[in-house]
Amino acid sequence: MNQLEQLKQFTTIVADTGDFQSIKAFAPRDATTNPSLILKAVQKPEYAPLLSQTVKEHANLATGDIIDRLLITFGQEILKIIPGRVSTETDARLSFDTQGTIDKGHALIKLYEAAGIDRERVLIKIASTWEGIRAAEVLQKAGVHCNLTLLFSLPQAIACAEAKVQLISPFVGRIYDWYKKSTGQDYTGADDPGVQSVKQIYSYFRKFGYATEVMGASFRNTSQIIELAGCDLLTISPDLLQKLAESDAPVTRKLSLEDAQQSDIKKINLDETTFRTMLNDDAMATEKLAEGIRQFSADAVKLEKMVDALR
């Protein structure tokens, strides 16, 4: 078996792309998108008609509502290919607006259901700010499953688990990027700070019995992926899925429930003050969370301009 086939024995594989035509070859169970991936996709000739058609069909709507329909269109196409769930992201500019995020989550689910898609097949992606986590808590209670993204630290993960969100996406590659830039040192294998962060979160969740799924995300190389074999899910870009499929090097389980339950990690009593203090004390997590929100917000603006240009 190649590495991708071996990895599927231990972990659910998720495709991290808006390019749904590239998904078929790798047979993932789920797929994730984000504003940057959708923006990248609609700039390709094969997806440009989807954008123009969506704008034409909903020209009487506000720009933001047209973009919501574009996201649903991509989600529908992806769900024709995969057997599982698709993640669709809320506007990053709502990252500090709890009620706005709740309203957007319900709006997106309503659009999916109007298109004949069961809400069980959709995850609403929300930034792991305190406000975003509170919004996810409300949405989950209403039967809207959430994927908390832009997650770089244990306090973010714990707050998500205690809010009973469906799934979290800790960002391996962006953590690696920060430490590599900060220290001038490269990291591989188990020494990678991004890998270590996901292992810590996985151990904490499994030791203390949280049901929230852990999905490693934002990978820079296959070494990071292989080190997290056994994680609940891993969302991987098509180029790295291809590299895994081209290698037959051995893959062994690195994360397990048994090891997690035997770890010496300590329980943290987390309230809003502790959350904000711990996040503030973590320069990497603070900087990468802010940077990620700015980046996704900027890409949302670019997408708006593309829509407006087609009106």
* Confidence (pLDDT) at 53: 96
Residues near 310 by beta carbon (within 8 Å), at least 6 away in sequence? 51, 52, 55, 56
Measure Cα distances from 120 to 77, 101, 156, 160 in Å: 16, 19, 24, 19
| CA atoms 296, 151, 16, 105: torsion sign | negative
Contact between 72 and 114 (Cβ < 8 Å): no
Supply 97's token pair: 């607006």
Supply 279's token pair: 């996040």
pLDDT in tens, 83-96: 999 999 999 999 99
Contact between 211 and 145 (Cβ < 8 Å): no
Rounded to an integer, what distance in angstroms lies between the CA atom of residue 80 and that of residue 310? 27
Secondary structure letter of residue 27 according to DSSP: -
pLDDT in tens, 12-61: 999 999 999 999 999 999 999 998 999 999 999 999 999 999 999 999 99
User: Could you give the 3-state DSSP secondary structure of residue 86?
Assistant: strand
The parts of the chain modelled with pLDDT lower than 50 are none
Rounded to an integer, what distance in angstroms lies between the CA atom of residue 14 and that of residue 34? 14
Rounded to an integer, what distance in angstroms lies between the CA atom of residue 105 and that of residue 165? 13
For residue 243, indicate whether it is catalytic: no
Number of Cβ within 10 Å of residue 135's Cβ equals 30
Beta strands 146-151 and 12-16, pairing class: unpaired
Supply 98's token pair: 């709890």
Contact between 98 and 134 (Cβ < 8 Å): yes
- The catalytic position among 44, 80, 104, 125 is 125
Contact between 65 and 311 (Cβ < 8 Å): no
Secondary structure letter of residue 168 according to DSSP: E
Secondary structure letter of residue 8 according to DSSP: T
| 209 backbone φψ class: left, alpha, beta (φ>0; ψ -120 to 50) | left
* Confidence (pLDDT) at 69: 97
Supply 221's token pair: 């190389």
Amino acid at site 279: L
Measure Cα distances from 269 to 67, 205, 213, 238, 281 in Å: 39, 14, 20, 39, 17
* Confidence (pLDDT) at 245: 97
Contact between 200 and 182 (Cβ < 8 Å): no
* Confidence (pLDDT) at 35: 84
* Confidence (pLDDT) at 240: 98
